[in-house]
Structure 1
Amino acid sequence: MTCEMPGPALSAGEHSALIPPVTSVRHTPGTTPAPTLAELTTLRVGGAPAQYLEAHSEEEMTAAIAAADAQGQPLLVLGGGSNVLAHEDGFAGLVLRDARTSVVVEDASGCGGVTVRATAGVPWDDFVHRAVVEEWMGLEALSGIPGTVGAAPVQNIGAYGAEVAGTLASVRVYDRERGRTRLLPVGDLKLGYRTSVLKTSRSETRPDGTSWGATGRYVVLEATFQFRNASLSAPVRYAELARALGVNLEDRAPAASVRAAVLELRRGKGMVLDDADHDTWSAGSFFLNPVLSEAAAATLPADAPRFAVRNPALATNILDPGPVVPGLVKTSAAWLIARAGFAPGYGTELTAGRASLSTKHVLAITNRGAASAADIRAVSSAIQQGVREAFGVELEPEPVVLAP
């Protein structure tokens, strides 16, 4: 049997130049016995939870979930806190965090493939950094995204033309309805643009008739990835990134260079966590890019961005973005917001300077130092109303909004 490696090995110089992990998680487990949600989340808003627990084993994780469910206690399983808008009054339930940070290489075939299993608590950019070092192709464009491995499949996180769906093989979860662990292959996750069954299960009805709430039916315990070995990246599919790298779309580039370019682009937009930069006190992109019917998209101005919607669940390999979904068109939330008249920094007058759009772009709503949940919601609501009136499009917020 012969094997063709997809790219040359990293040189010693490339290894030494590789950018180390950036901050993925504001609050490292074990540093504070009873942190507030303001300390736990990247928006830095929120009071203390009724109960806080860091689990250091799978048994501790599943026992805590089962106990909370048996007692009818609200549950929030929190990763990096980068997709949550909490309330000043805290959370009337259990905030549970997975403190396990194990990464295990399960199989390295020597034929350009490797299977890697990571526990849910691994900081995401730590995992991406290791992937680039180890020449596990496919995560380099996802550098710098705040959060943990466990949260990645829930949202099917994506950026700069890549999604976690491209390398994800399966997740092991605790099924709260069945009260046991289960292995869900990627084909069962129904991955799409910022969605999965892990996410949509939040609104599913429980046996008692209520919804599961902020944490859905399935709690990710670990994720398994299938990579091809290569020092070259997956095909570059985002025009801004291609320009930064000086390559054409669909070209491949050294993964270390892609990582460096992505981190530079993200820093320029305030999308890499930095205590000193209030533009990073955010939940990242606050609104999803709207996915519209072809008829609805036809009502937008001619120069509105229009992108194909693809189904990553039907992709055949990491180089395949998945087939186009007929009848659907994705447009740009940032374009809609800007064309509706909102500029970077909007919201300071609305909230007495406590919250506003980022000063660098219009996709992130930021805490300028003393924002409340109401301030964040006020800016969000004003933008939604403006876009609705201008284009008839409903912007969907991406963060999970917690009730106290």
Structure 2
Amino acid sequence: MQVRRDVRLADLTTLAVGGRIDRLVEVETAVELVTAVREADEAGRPLLVLGGGSNVVAPDEGWPGDVVLVRARGIERFGNALTVQAGHDWDALVAYTVENRLAGVEALSGIPGSTGATPIQNVGAYGQEVAQTITAVRVWDRAEKAERTLTPAECGFAYRDSRLKRDPVRFVVLDVTVDLHPGDESRPVTYAELARTLGVEIGATAPLAAVREAVLALRRGKGMVWDPADPDSRSAGSFFTNPIVPSEQALEGCPSWPAGDGMVKLSAAWLVQHAGFGRGTREGRVGTSSRHSLALTTEDGATAAELLAFADRIVATVREKFGVTLEREPTAVRP
């Protein structure tokens, strides 16, 4: 394990905000990760576990204890199942599945961050989400001081949510097991924009490589593929989740999708844009991406306080204009 004291959270997050860290502990194996967590807990030091830093709004005041940076990488294959270390780059995993003719996560190409973070958020895009393939999540339970393997039911997956997200202090993800489908074809394409791009009907399949290429192109067009040279990718991806409301609250003109039990999912991007925060809206050093109104971006010198205040103005304006409350997707960390 490497320990450093010269790092800011801004250096470790895609939004590039956040102050100085007291102790940065970089780990390269699950054993080192557990050791680092136990040492922080036993010493009573505040603990923050980071992977790719792509879904975090880090605090301007920094972190007064240990930040454990998870760099544990590796994939083990058991038939059609893969067990993946928590620090393994997510998009590298998706590329591996396409190259090895395993379907199930191809539409999740281009999402930045680490594999260990995906079950926490129940990451999803273009009609797929990780809960559809995850069969086990191995964790360190800080309350029980023991390793556990959580089943999907125990993970409590919901739309961009899970038990791991609702109880962020207790569980530290060590590895994730996914069960995939062998073959050259994707899972059925259910997202209209992706189907149009591929030239297939909704519910049809397409070659795995073609789906990956199409998703990457769509995401790049929206500034949603991490690229240090692209200011529009200096974000946490979609900053708000699509709100789910009773069907009678559907809004005229707003795209919506059935969400079961008399509910519909509204387009958060439409709500943000029609509340007056279209692409390229800037307030000082923060604002919406020039290519996607749902992504909030930062400029050099921006602070978390500026970003969150701008996000709060969006939420308040959408609520006032449409009677719908947007929920933030990234986690705003507090010491």
Q: TM-score, normalised by structure 1?
A: 0.80
Counterparts of 1:137-152 in structure 2, within 5 Å, are 137-152=103-118
Q: Which has the higher strand share?
A: 2
What amino acid sits opposite 1:65 in the alignment? V
Whether 2:333 is the aligned partner of 1:333: answer no
Unmatched 5+ stretches in structure 2: none
Contact 1:155 1:196 in 2 (8 A): yes
Give the structure 1 partner of residue 101 of structure 2.
Answer: 135
Counterparts of 1:345-356 in structure 2, within 5 Å, are 345-346=280-281, 348=282, 350-351=283-284, 354-356=285-287
User: Partner of 2:149: helix, strand, or coil?
Assistant: strand
Give the structure 1 partner of residue 160 of structure 2.
Answer: 194
In the alignment, the residues of structure 2 paired with residue 40 and residue 47 of structure 1 have an alpha-carbon distance, to the nearest angstrom, of: 11
Give the structure 2 partner of residue 157 of structure 1.
Answer: 123
Deviation at 1:34, TM superposition (A): 4.1
Give the structure 2 partner of residue 40 of structure 1.
Answer: 12
What amino acid sits opposite 2:175 in the alignment? E
Unmatched 5+ stretches in structure 1: 1-28, 109-113, 203-215, 310-324
Contact 1:157 1:164 in 2 (8 A): yes
In the alignment, the residues of structure 1 paired with residue 92 and residue 329 of structure 2 have an alpha-carbon distance, to the nearest angstrom, of: 23
Contact 2:17 2:302 in 1 (8 A): yes
Give the structure 2 partner of residue 208 of structure 1.
Answer: none
Contact 1:80 1:147 in 2 (8 A): yes
In structure 2, which of residues 322, 328, 332 is the aligned counterpart of residue 397 of structure 1? 328
What amino acid sits opposite 2:248 in the alignment? A
Whether 2:186 is the aligned partner of 1:233: answer yes
User: Partner of 1:47: helix, strand, or coil?
Assistant: coil
User: Partner of 1:337: helix, strand, or coil?
Assistant: helix
Counterparts of 1:177-216 in structure 2, within 5 Å, are 177-202=143-168, 216=169
Q: Return the index of the structure with the highest Cα Rg.
A: 1
In the alignment, the residues of structure 1 paired with residue 82 and residue 116 of structure 2 have an alpha-carbon distance, to the nearest angstrom, of: 14
In structure 1, which of residues 156, 160, 166 is the aligned counterpart of residue 132 of structure 2? 166
Contact 1:300 1:391 in 2 (8 A): no
What amino acid sits opposite 1:54 in the alignment? E
Deviations 1:98-128 (A, max 9, x none): 22111111x22xxxxx111111010001100
Deviation at 1:228, TM superposition (A): 1.3
In the alignment, the residues of structure 1 paired with residue 64 and residue 327 of structure 2 have an alpha-carbon distance, to the nearest angstrom, of: 26
What amino acid sits opposite 2:263 in the alignment? L
In the alignment, the residues of structure 2 paired with residue 299 and residue 170 of structure 1 have an alpha-carbon distance, to the nearest angstrom, of: 37
What amino acid sits opposite 1:302 in the alignment? E
Whether 2:200 is the aligned partner of 1:269: answer no
User: Partner of 1:342: helix, strand, or coil?
Assistant: coil
| Distance change (3 Å), C-alpha of 1:308 and 1:34 | farther
What amino acid sits opposite 1:146 in the alignment? P
Counterparts of 1:51-70 in structure 2, within 5 Å, are 51-70=23-42
Contact 1:125 1:143 in 2 (8 A): yes
Counterparts of 1:254-265 in structure 2, within 5 Å, are 254-265=207-218
Give the structure 1 partner of residue 82 of structure 2.
Answer: 116
Give the structure 2 partner of residue 316 of structure 1.
Answer: none
Contact 2:52 2:113 in 1 (8 A): yes
Whether 2:231 is the aligned partner of 1:278: answer yes
In structure 1, which of residues 285, 298, 307 is the aligned counterpart of residue 248 of structure 2? 298
Deviation at 1:299, TM superposition (A): 3.3
In the alignment, the residues of structure 2 paired with residue 50 and residue 129 of structure 1 have an alpha-carbon distance, to the nearest angstrom, of: 36
Contact 2:250 2:266 in 1 (8 A): no
In the alignment, the residues of structure 2 paired with residue 280 and residue 167 of structure 1 have an alpha-carbon distance, to the nearest angstrom, of: 27
In the alignment, the residues of structure 2 paired with residue 143 and residue 231 of structure 1 have an alpha-carbon distance, to the nearest angstrom, of: 16
Deviations 1:285-325 (A, max 9, x none): 00111122x2xx4234333222222xxxxxxxxxxxxxxx4
Deviations 1:336-378 (A, max 9, x none): 11122221111x2x32xx1110011210110123211122112
Query: More displaced, 256-265 or 327-336?
Result: 327-336
Give the structure 2 partner of residue 94 of structure 1.
Answer: 66
Deviations 1:261-285 (A, max 9, x none): 0000000000011112111000110
Q: TM-score, normalised by structure 2?
A: 0.96
Contact 1:87 1:373 in 2 (8 A): yes
Query: More displaced, 261-270 or 187-196?
Result: 187-196
What amino acid sits opposite 1:182 in the alignment? R
User: Partner of 2:180: helix, strand, or coil?
Assistant: strand
Report how many residues are paired: 335
Contact 2:29 2:73 in 1 (8 A): no
After superposition, the CA RMSD in angstroms is 1.7
In structure 1, which of residues 352, 356, 368 is the aligned counterpart of residue 299 of structure 2? 368
Deviation at 1:33, TM superposition (A): 7.5
